[in-house]
Amino acid sequence: MNANRSLRAVLLAVLTSLGAIAYAGDHAGENAALKAIIDARSEEDRARDPYRNPADTLAFFQVAPGMTVAEGLPGRGWYTRIIAPYLGADGAIYGVNYADRMWPLFSWVTPEIIAQRIAATAALPTMVADITDSGVSAAGFTFEAVPDELKGSVDRVLLIRALHNLNRFEAQAQTRSRALASVHAMLADDGMVGVVQHRAPESATDEWADGSRGYLKQSAVIQVFNDAGFELVAESDINANPKDQPGADDIVWRLPPSLRGSKDNPERAAAMQAIGESDRMTLLFRKSTPES
């Protein structure tokens, strides 16, 4: 990176960070609407707010009503239940799932599960309709099947705990690089990507932090985004948890809500609950412009 690009990156990071800080003040009405949506959810959904911090996270990503937002791996809709009503009738939400070819790479996946996951992609509009009558547009597709008419039109792509498996199978099937290429293509010229990801200690080996344990190094995530045509413009500790200090034999799913390996061990379960959910990086990237 040359000196001019380095200076530009620093200035852009400062400006974007200041913009994220000022966002709440400049969008007070929108933030009130977001808070009302968050407060109206079920008790089960709200129970995870102390670790997921949805209001602060979406404000940091500068998500606003009327935007077109692509949500990576919407799953059962925890974030969808916030984003879909918040975007409103002038907005659009797209659920973006793993490419169909990726599912057989998981050793535990059966043909029935594959069929269910593929069907869930197409069913995203039905899920959104069950969540809200706001009139928000909705569609579902995979990372490797972005409709041509949507390319260059998306304001925000949110990859919330969505990167570890894409990275895990990169060497085998180029899953991460193809997904990020699609993200780059679907974004508008001023579009941004919000990332929340389980964070590995920087001291961990690359093999340990390849995503198979759920964790990725923050430095590695920044590097792969740079290589894919993005630039980091802001980072935050909104979703940090310093109590999560994984050891060499640990996986992220040992922690709540999964509690894998301790559901029948009350003492271990209590220890995992005391840690809480994982330590997470929160990063904001901008689609690089040709002159950068």
Q: What is the pLDDT of residue 20?
A: 53
Domain that holds residue 231: 3-241+280-287
Residues 101, 220 within the same domain: yes
Closest CA to 60 of 32, 22, 93, 10: 22
Q: Do the domain assignments include residue 292? A: no
- Please check whether residues 224 and 248 belong to one and the same domain: no
Q: Is there a single domain that holds both residue 168 and residue 267?
A: no
User: Does 258 share its domain with 213?
Assistant: no
Q: What is the reported pLDDT for 39?
A: 97
d(CA 243, CA 42): 27
Cα 260 to Cα 97, 245, 248, 252, 269: the distances in Å are 24, 16, 16, 9, 9
In a shared domain, residues 256 and 208: no
pLDDT along the chain (292 residues), means of 10: 48 53 60 96 97 98 98 98 98 98 96 96 98 97 97 98 98 98 97 98 98 98 98 98 97 97 94 98 90 53
- Candidates 222, 219, 159; CA nearest to 186 is 159
CATH number at residue 62: 3.40.50.150
pLDDT (0 to 100) of residue 86: 98
Tell me, yes or no, whether 169 lies in a domain: yes
Q: 138, 92 in Cβ contact below 8 A? A: yes
Q: Is residue 206 part of a domain?
A: yes
pLDDT score for 1: 43
261 and 181 part of one domain:
no
Residue 85 placed within a domain: yes
Number of compact structural domains in the chain? 2
On whether residue 15 sits in a domain, the answer given is yes
B/e letters for 165-197, b = 16+ CB within 10 Å, e = fewer, are bbbbbbeebebbebbbbbbbebbeeebbbbbbb
270 and 163 inside one domain: no
Residue 88 falls within a domain, yes or no?
yes
Picking from 145, 146, 133, 140, the residue whose alpha carbon sits closest to that of residue 119 is: 140
